[in-house]
Every structure is written in structure tokens, then in C-alpha cells.
Structure 1
Amino acid sequence: MNTPDDLPVVCSNCFSSTGLRLDAERIGRELPGKCPNCHADGYRKLPLAGVGALAHRYFVWGSLWRAKYGAAPLIQFNEHQKTSIDIKPWLEADVRLIERLLSVGFFHYGPSLWMLGEIEPLKALQRSRTRQSIVDRILKEYPSRQLAPTETFYRLRVNPKTPDEPSQYDSPPPELAGKGRLDSKGNPILYGSPDLEVCIHECRVTVEDDVFVATLSATRELALLDLSVLLKESEGITGFESLDLTVHMLFMAGRHSYSLARKIAEAARNAGFDGVVYPSYFSLLRLGRMPLETNYGISHRRVNELQEYEQSKTIPNLALFGRPIESGAVAVRCIDRLVVGRVGYEYHFGPTGA
């Protein structure tokens, strides 16, 4: 039996903006009867909670702005403020409808500055004179884990010269060193992942490519520094002081962050680790999750009840030092051609000029 909270209040036909209408189609449910708002039939319907999810998806997530490190939405809404954003003509009726249904107002969001990289350990990591102290903390505070021979992972190659040759799936040759997130000249790295779709994303595969995948496993236990975990810190640590958020944002960032990540990899190698586990840059895209979610300016990663959910938003990649196939530390179990048969995109919309 439906409760009042389950009862539909609008349908996708109620919205004028194409983006809101299509997002409402994805969020809504097929229910019998006419829409209680526009009285149309045959459209997906949303209860109040669905309208809230639609508003968040379009106006909050849809206005996300990425900084050099971190990200924050430009728009928020709540029941305490009146609408003060510039509303485009094609959104006017939709905003008024959502305002009426949810009793909220939309406003420009002033994020807590930690969301935009104002985190002391992250700033210290970027300064040459203080960098080593943060690298030392990372090696001390992050856990190690063992990669067992029973665990398999994947390594993709695009257009290899001899695809059935196991050595083709080792670390790249010296002339290509220093192009990845963690490798540098003289410090080759074999990159892999237990998630095959992440491998495809990481390799930027196109329809014109011949793609091959090797299934790999360690031949002995390998000791790895695990940077993919959510680091549980004391309650007194704020977002501005968090080492967890520092590492999280470092691996969310683009190529400008590679030199810093390489310093951590070099330190881990010098400390005797066989490699590093790190969060895939494509984790959130692979899972369809919003980055840096907060409540009242507090990161969900800092809330005990939400940490398991936040950890689920990270897909781990492997970076193994040296040439582990050549050295015998990693074995190629099999090699297959990978045929990309279909590509689909999951997307949603947001406002222009936020």
C-alpha cells in the first residue's frame, strides 16, 4: 500500500526544460492514472522525494565546478532561503514548480574552502620545502596490504606489436617512462586493475583500436601501500587538516598532480614496497557517483555512518614497481582479444551559466 510519501505529485511532462524532463523520465516510475499536476497520462511520475532528487541532480550536481584540486557545486537549495539565482527563461516555470512543491529556494553556494583544495597537508605537499614531511606521513599512516597469488587483475594493451607475447604486458619501455600518474624515468610501473571496465577507460580505447587484455596474478605475496582506503582520522581533524582528503583529492586531479603522486610512489619504492594500490581517476565516472558530497559543509568521508558508502565510491588500481613480469613476480595467466561491441553513456543535465 502506498504511503503519502510514495504518492506522485508530478510527471516528466510537467517540466519545460529538456534536461529536467529527461532526468525526470529516468528518476520517475511508471504508475497508472493521470498526473495530479498536469493531468497528462502515460508519463513517468515522481513523488516529493523524487522531485528533491531531481532538483539535486540538476541544480546541485549539474552545477559542479572543478578546481585545481577538489570541486564544489555552484548552486544549492533549501527551505531557509528564497531563490536568488539568475533563472533562464526556459527554466522559469520549472523552478517555480519545484519551489512550490518542495517549499525551497535556490541560491548561489559558498562552499567550505577545503572543497577547493584549501587543505593544509595538500598545500604542504605542493611546496617543495614541506613536501617530504607529508610524504612521510602518508607512508606512516596509510596501511599496507598483500597482493596474494590467488588474486587476478587485468592489464590492457592497445595495438601491441605482438599481442600473444607475455612481455608486451609488462611495464612500458624506457622511452615511454614518465607519462603515467606514478611512473618516472628510471622507475617503470606496470599498471593494472581488478576492474576490466576501468582498464578500458584508462586506456582511452576507440573503435579503431585492436585491444588485448592479459589476466595477471602475482607469483608470491606482494607488499603494497594502499592509498585507496578511506583513512579514518580522529574526530578533532577538520576538512582543512585532513590527510584523507589530501590523498583523495590528489587522485581526483588531472595531470598537474602527477609530479606529486610520483613522489609518493618513489618513497614507497624506497621503503621496500612492491607497489601501490591507488584510487582510479575514473572511479566516480565508472560508478555514476557525485564527488565530494557534504552535509552542512562537512565531508561525508568524515561522517562515521557514511564512510562505508564513501569507500564504495573508490575503485582500486594497481601500480607494481619495476618490470614484475620480466622479474617473475607476476605471471601472465592468459591473453585475450577484447572486442568493444557496444558503448553507452549515462548522463544527466545541469543549468547553464551557473
Structure 2
Amino acid sequence: MNTSDDVPIACSNCFSDRGLRLDAERIGREELSGACPNCGATGFKKLPAPGVGALAHRFFVWGSMQRMRYGAAPLIQFNKHQQTSIDVAPWLAADVKLIERLLGVGFFLYEPRLWMIGEVEPLKDLQRTTKRQAIVDRVLSEYPERMLSPDESFYRVRISPSTPSDPRQYDSPPPASAGRGRLDSVRTPMLYASPDLEVCVHECRVRAEDDVFVATLAATKPLRLLDVSILLKEEGVSEFESLDMAVYMLFLAGKHSYKITRAIAEAARDAGFDGLVYPSYFSLLRIGQMPFQTTYGISHRRIPQYQDYEEAKAIPNLVLFGRPVSSGAVSVSCINRLILSRVGYEFHFGPTGA
């Protein structure tokens, strides 16, 4: 028996904007019989009310997401309590009116809560050299230790190593290349790796013409790692005071954050850890998720029923201090040439402005 949430109210043919139309094709359902109740067309993907809502969120909210130095926020939101007050391009105007009518909503410029754009006190302190160490000390004391056992395999990708079959080629980079990554420094060489091979390939910026090799690695003894990839469950603090939010934003930020992440790595090494587990910068692209999702302005990382799902969004990378292959802490069990056979892109659309 169909419920109102199952009954189509539109189809992909109803939309004029090419991006909305293509997104409606991806979201909509195949229904071979029956005309669209809105436009009367047949043979197009149908959308019930929840599908139109998902389409509007995907296009206008996620599609207007703007990244800041730390954090991100959408420029547009919609709900049933406001009338439309945004300017839209001529080719989008009819579609906005259609969605307004179908869902009874209005589109408006979103004023994000300031934590979404980096107004997080521990994050602000990390950016101040005089206050950084106190927050780094908190990271070392509040995030858990994780043991990397010898039965866990992980990968290291190299582009055009001079001797591909030599295990030493898959150790930490030579001194001339030190200090370029998110966590390594001239003083501390580090081996970057991941249990997720696709993330390794992406982070190495592999191109079609590259000669690529991958080593399968394993620890030869249990290694102590500081795990900053987890969702830190905090009590009695808001997003503005959250260490979890600060670290999450830090590892989603660009190169301007590297001095801070290197300070965390140096402190972990000085504290006797063998390395770090940290979230890949490409985690959200790997799983196709919107960053910094909220409900009524509250981060999903702060809502208990969403926390396991939020934590699963982080694809873990590993960094091991020193030269663990040369020292014998890590063994190379296998080396293969890696052949790129196919590359695909998944994408969706958004408005050109607000």
C-alpha cells in the first residue's frame, strides 16, 4: 500500500535547470507506467515529496556550501517558515517556484552559527603560537592510544621509485623531501600509509602517465599510535568549546594548517608514540558525504544518535615516525605495479550564486 511519501509529485522532466534535471534523474525512481502528476510526461524518473526535498537540499544547500580557512557552511537554506528571498539565475527561476509550490517552502540566505566557520575556541588557540602547546597537550591526553598489530596490513604508494623492487624505496622520504607533508618535518621523517588503497592513490595525486607501485606493509611488533581520527565524545561542551570539533576541522583544512598538525605529530613522537592515526583530507570525497552536517544548527557530531555514523566518515591514514622499514619496525611483504584501468567521477550540482 502506497503512503503519501511514496506517491510521485514530480519527475525529472519538470525541471528546466540542467543540473537540477540531471540530479533528479539520479534521485528519482523508475516507474514505467503512469504520467507525471505535475507535467504529464511519461518515461521520466519520478520523485515523491521526500525525493523533491532531497533534490532541493542536494542542489541548494550542499550545492551552495562554501569552505572557509576552517569549517564550511551553506549559503542557502529552505524551510516551511520563510518565503523565498534569494536572487536566482533566470534559468533557475521556474524550478524554484515549482519546488516552492510542491513542498510549501521558501529559500533564503543562511546565517550559519559561527562555529561552522571556525569560531571554535580550541581551534583558535591552536592558531596562536602562545596558546598552541596547551591544546596540543590536551590532544595527547584526551585522544586514545591505538595499537597497530602485526596482523594488520596497510599500503604505501610510490610514483616512479628508482628501484621498484627494493623495500627501502617504501620507507619514509629522503631528507631532501622532508617537511612537505601534513605531519612530517625536517627534524622528523615520517612514513605515510593507509589501510585504504584508494585513498593512498588519491593522496599521491597519481596521473595516467605515472609509473605507480604499491607496497603492502605490516608492523613487525605492536606499535603505539595516537588516534586522532575518532570522534571524541565530550560532555557538557558546545561546538564553540569542543576539542573534537577543533581537531576535525584541522584535518579537513588545507596547507595553512600544516604547522599545527606538525606540532601535534612532534609532541606525539616526543611522548613516545610510534605514530598517528589521522583522518584523510579526502575522507568526505571518498565516501561522498557533505561536510559539517547540522540539525537546527547543531553539529551531528554532538548528537548521540548520529555519532557512530559521523565517526565512520573519517577514512583513517597512518603516519609512522622515523624510518620504520630501515629500523625493522615495519616489513614489506609484497610490492606490485599498480595499473590505473579506469577513473570515474561522481558529482552533483548547485546554483551559481545566492
TM-score range, shorter chain: over 0.9
Tell me which residue corresponds to 2:39: 38
Tell me which residue corresponds to 2:214: 213
1:89 pairs with 2:62: no
Give the Cα separation in 2 of the matches to 1:309 and 1:103.
30
Tell me which residue corresponds to 1:11: 11
Give the Cα separation in 1 of the matches to 2:294 and 2:84.
21
Tell me which residue corresponds to 2:24: 24
Amino acid at match of 1:338: L
Residue 87 (structure 1) shift = 1.5
Tell me which residue corresponds to 1:295: 295
Q: Deviations over 1:220-255 (max 9, x none)?
A: 000000000000000x20110000000000000000
Residue 186 (structure 1) shift = 1.8
Residue 221 of structure 2 aligns to a residue whose secondary structure is coil
Residue 4 (structure 1) shift = 2.0
Give the Cα separation in 2 of the matches to 1:220 and 1:2.
58
Amino acid at match of 1:331: S
Residue 6 of structure 1 aligns to a residue whose secondary structure is coil
Residue 8 of structure 2 aligns to a residue whose secondary structure is coil
| Residues 56-205 of structure 1 aligned to structure 2 (within 5 Å) | 56-205=57-206
Amino acid at match of 1:222: L
Give the Cα separation in 1 of the matches to 2:281 and 2:268.
20
Residue 140 of structure 2 aligns to a residue whose secondary structure is helix
Residue 5 of structure 2 aligns to a residue whose secondary structure is helix
Tell me which residue corresponds to 1:319: 319
CA RMSD of aligned residues (A): 0.6
1:224 pairs with 2:213: no
Give the Cα separation in 2 of the matches to 1:131 and 1:214.
36
Amino acid at match of 2:306: L
Give the Cα separation in 2 of the matches to 1:116 and 1:325.
40
Q: Deviations over 1:179-218 (max 9, x none)?
A: 0000000200000000010001100000010000000000
Is the Cα–Cα contact under 8 Å of residues 88 and 353 in structure 2 kept in the other structure? no
Is the Cα–Cα contact under 8 Å of residues 191 and 324 in structure 2 kept in the other structure? yes
Residue 2 (structure 1) shift = 2.4
Q: Deviations over 1:106-152 (max 9, x none)?
A: 00000000000000000001101100000000000000000000000
Q: TM-score, normalised by structure 2?
A: 0.99
Give the Cα separation in 1 of the matches to 2:184 and 2:234.
29
Give the Cα separation in 2 of the matches to 1:2 and 1:193.
46
Tell me how many residue pairs correspond in the alignment.
353
Give the Cα separation in 1 of the matches to 2:210 and 2:256.
27
Residue 5 of structure 1 aligns to a residue whose secondary structure is coil
Tell me which residue corresponds to 1:2: 2
Give the Cα separation in 2 of the matches to 1:215 and 1:280.
19
Residue 102 of structure 2 aligns to a residue whose secondary structure is helix
Q: Deviations over 1:281-339 (max 9, x none)?
A: 00000000000000111100000000011011110000000000000000001001110
Residue 25 (structure 1) shift = 0.4
Tell me which residue corresponds to 1:283: 283
Gaps of 5+ in 2: none
